[in-house]
Structure 1
Amino acid sequence: MAEIHPPTYMVLSLLLIQGTFGQRWGISLTHDHICAVSGSSVAMPCSFTHPPGLTVTKVYWTINPQPNIEPADLLDMPTYKDRVLYSADISNNCTLTLREVTVADAGEYNLRIVTGHYKEKWLQRPGFHLTVTDLSVWIPGPVLEGNEVRVVCNNSCRLEDNATVLWREKGQGVSGGQTKYGRLILTNVNTEDEGNYSCALKGFDGHPSTAVKLEVMFPPKDTSVAVSPSSEIVEGSSVTLTCSSDANPPVEGYTWFKVNESTPVGSGQQYSITNIRSEDGGQYYCEARNKYGAETSTAVSITVTGIVKQQYAAFVIVGVLILGIVSLSCAIHWIRGRSGNEDLGGHFGRSEGSKAVKGARVVSQDCTTQYANISLIRPAHRRRCSDEDVRRHSDRSDSIRDAVSGGTRGVSQDCTTQYATVSPH
Structure 2
Amino acid sequence: SADIIWQHCTVVLISPASALCETFNIKMPPNINVLRGSCVTIPCSFDVESRFEKYLDHTCKAYWSDSPSFTSGNAKVKPTKDMTGDLTKKDCTTTFNNTRLLPGKKYYLRLECKNDLKYTFKQASVNISVIGTLTCSAPAPCWSHPPALTWIPNRGQSQETLQENQDKTKVKTSVMNFTASHLHHGNKISCTAVYQKNRGSPDVTAETSLTPDISYSPKNVTVSVSPSGPVPENSNVSLTCSSNANPAVRNYTWYRADGDQEALIGTGQSFIVTVSKVKSTFFCKATNALGCERSRNLQIDFQCNETQEGQRLPQRFKTINEEESSKPKSTTQLLRIS
Structures share fold, TM-score greater than 0.5: no
TM-score bracket relative to the smaller structure: 0.3 to 0.5
Select the structure of larger CA radius of gyration: 1
Structure with bigger helix share is 1
The two structures have a TM-score, normalised by structure 1, of 0.33
TM-score by length of 2: 0.40
